[in-house]
Amino acid sequence: MSSSTEFVGAIDQGTTSTRFLIFDKTGVPVASHQIEFDQIYPKPGWMEHDPVEILDTVKTCISKACEQFIKAGNEISFIKAIGITNQRETTVVWNTKTGKPLHNAIVWSDARTTHTVAVLKAKPGADQVQEKTGLPISTYFAGVKLRWLLDNVKEVQAAADEGILAFGTIDSWLLYNLTGGPNGGLHITDSTNGSRTMFLNIRTLEYDQSLIKFFGVEKVKLPTVVSSSEVYGRMPDGVLRGVPIAGCLGDQSAALVGHCAFKPGVAKNTYGTGCFLLYNTGEQPVISKNGLLTTVAYRFKGQKPVYALEGSIAVAGSAVKWLRDGLGLIKEAGETGELAAKVEDSAGVVFVTAFSGLFAPYWKDDARGTIVGITQYTKKEHIVRATLEATCFQTKAILDAMNKDSGNPLTELKVDGGMTDNDVCMQLQSDILGIEVDRPQMREVTALGSAIAAGLAVGVWKSFDELKVINTQGRTRFKPSITEEARASRFKLWERAVERAVGWQVPQE
């Protein structure tokens, strides 16, 4: 049992699983429960979730984690607030009279809206969208998914015509149901999630009527935009009845907050299947000229919003998985560090892991996976090391673009995610970037970010200064160990390899 009587809960609703964690004041998780849920693939490239199943997993995770918490000798009254973090852009529509979904949620990675994107891009005003929202018109974002639902699902359009169609991302769906649903539930979204809908003006953080008209969603009930840290409402029932819901952040923003990356020029990279980099640019949004997205990092009540540039790498951990499952070079992901450490370098081998094109900052759909520089000297250790370096080089390319866009040179990179367990990979990352890489011992930083937002709202922490002690025990800092000349030479080789990977996939006639 902890000596503290102040704890904060965090709902972490991800793409493949839901979790509920309870953190103490030092940012240590003392109880947690996780449930995976069904991935629905109606057609190739389509991906859906059942919103009711997601809600059920949230309630079960809360119940099970609270059981652990009580068994450890704590009382439910010690939990002062809960925060929410969620998969972004995944789109839910529901009937405001019944509270029931009118379709499965369309997931952020779903690609069914390619035609919708083409139609929108051809409309007058399309050239203004990125300037206003910070986002290009893409299958990725929620507004495009809502437009598809209105065009293709009769029940959705009928509900809009009747004035009873509610739209929201996963945070809105959860907040609505966890504050009463059709019986007075709140229809809200926080600024970080709202900024991914394409309906929000990135500067005012209010809905832009020209964008509402552009997407043709005038008849849809949109969630009210609120800050990321304030008391929204209280749990109406269940084990946490009466506990305030007081924080909400999209998952990548939550990770930035979880790292306490509150100063401009600080960035975090989450190394998962792919990589998501967010770079704090301060109180002014920077519209990228170098292939990045502009997003809201966080907005705490009574304070100015803080913005970020965002870049994503399609292939990171999935390249390691390919070494294991595709080539059989390793039996488990953990071997990569050991094998990479057996050789001094990759012996001139460069692996561009563009399995389905290159994302930011290259945006080359026609690139394909390419290994160059193989000689008779090449061993599997060199290929494994080159695989780790591929993620590190792409991270450098994105951060170079971020430095150009923001004018605030990067000072350090905070990291989390599965690949960060690999010390060799993190040392390579520091060497290739030429800056410190800061890895926390406790890696549940996304959930921690939403807990911090909720805790600040109810006074568990009074200020950012108090957060300086959060998750500081056992941090590892990797420092560059090669010269600037060696770094430049390695990156030049990477860029030459990228040139050879591009233009490989020729469109079929």
Q: Provide the CB-side half-sphere exposure for 254 (13 A, CA).
A: 31
Question: Given the structure tokens 């652990």, which residue do they identify?
Answer: 68
Q: Which domain holds residue 340?
A: 260-439+479-509
Domain boundary among 225, 251, 277: 251
What is the SS3 assignment for 395? helix
| CATH number of the domain residue 67 falls in | 3.30.420.40
Statement to judge: residues 28 and 59 lie in one domain = yes
Q: Are residues 271 and 212 in the same domain?
A: no
User: What is the C-alpha separation between 436 and 414, in angstroms, rounded?
Assistant: 9
Same domain, 224 and 284: no
Q: Which structure tokens are listed for 463?
A: 């200020």
Question: Under 8 Å CB-to-CB from 394, ≥6 apart: which residues?
Answer: 275, 313, 353, 358
Burial classification of residue 421, based on how many CB atoms lie within 10 Å of its CB (0-12 exposed, 13-18 middle, 19 or more buried): middle
264 and 234 in a single domain? The answer is no
In this structure, how many other beta carbons lie within 10 angstroms of the beta carbon of residue 483?
A: 11
- Of 215, 231, 251, the last residue of a domain is 251
pLDDT, mean of each 10-residue run, the chain (509 residues):
78 91 93 91 87 97 96 94 94 95 91 86 91 87 95 94 95 96 93 95 94 95 96 92 96 93 89 86 89 92 92 82 90 91 94 84 82 94 95 92 83 88 94 94 91 95 86 89 95 95 67
**pTM score, whole prediction:** 0.87
381/234 same-domain check:
no
Residues 56 and 201 in one domain: yes
pLDDT of residue 3: 56
Q: Which residue is listed with tokens 């984690």?
A: 65
Name the domain count of the chain: 2
At residue 333, the pLDDT reads 86
309 located within any domain: yes
Nearest residue to 240 via CA among 71, 404, 420, 76: 76
- Strand ordering across the sheet containing 244-250: 29-36, 17-24, 7-13, 79-86, 244-250, 229-234
Q: Locate tokens 């390319």: which residue?
A: 397
| Distance between start and end Cα atoms, the chain | 67
Q: Provide the pLDDT for residue 505.
A: 64
> Does 219 lie in the same domain as 310?
no
Q: Which of 415, 353, 354, 420 is nearest to 384 (CA)?
A: 353
Evaluate whether residue 388 is within a structural domain.
Answer: yes
Q: What letter represents residue 248's amino acid? A: C
If residue 293 lies in a helix (H) or strand (E), which one and from where to where?
A: strand 293-298
Kindly state whether residues 179 and 245 are assigned to the same domain. Answer: yes
Same domain, 231 and 358: no
Nearest to 249 by CA among 459, 450, 458: 450
Q: Which amino acid is at 236?
A: P
Using the 8-state DSSP alphabet, how is residue 40 labeled?
B
Residue 118 lies in a domain: yes
Kindly state the tokens that stand for 56.
């059920």
Q: How far is CA 482 from the centre of its chain?
A: 31
Instruction: Show the tokens assigned to 127.
Output: 């050239």
φ/ψ (deg, to 5) at 38 = -70, 140
φ, ψ (nearest 5 deg) of residue 93: -125, 140
DSSP summary character for residue 260: T
By CB neighbour count within 10 A (0-12 exposed, 13-18 middle, 19+ buried), where does 332 fall?
exposed
Burial class (CB in 10 A: 0-12, 13-18, 19+), 234: middle
Q: Side-chain half-sphere of 338: how many Cα atoms within 13 Å?
A: 7
SS3 286: coil
Q: Are residues 278 and 238 in the same domain?
A: no
Statement to judge: residues 109 and 134 lie in one domain: yes
Looking at the structure, do residues 272 and 244 belong to the same domain, yes or no? no
Judging by DSSP bridges, how do beta strands 370-372 and 350-352 pair with one another? antiparallel
Residues 6+ apart with CB under 8 A from 76: 66, 69, 70, 239, 240, 243
Which neighbouring-strand residues pair with 371? 351
> What is residue 101's DSSP assignment?
B
- In terms of Cβ atoms closer than 10 Å to its own Cβ (0-12, 13-18, 19+), residue 58 is buried
- The residue out of 232, 251, 270 marking a domain boundary is 251
> Which element (helix H / strand E) includes 326?
none
Cβ(198)–Cβ(142) under 8 Å?
yes
Angle among Cα 86, 127, 505 to the nearest 5 degrees reads 75
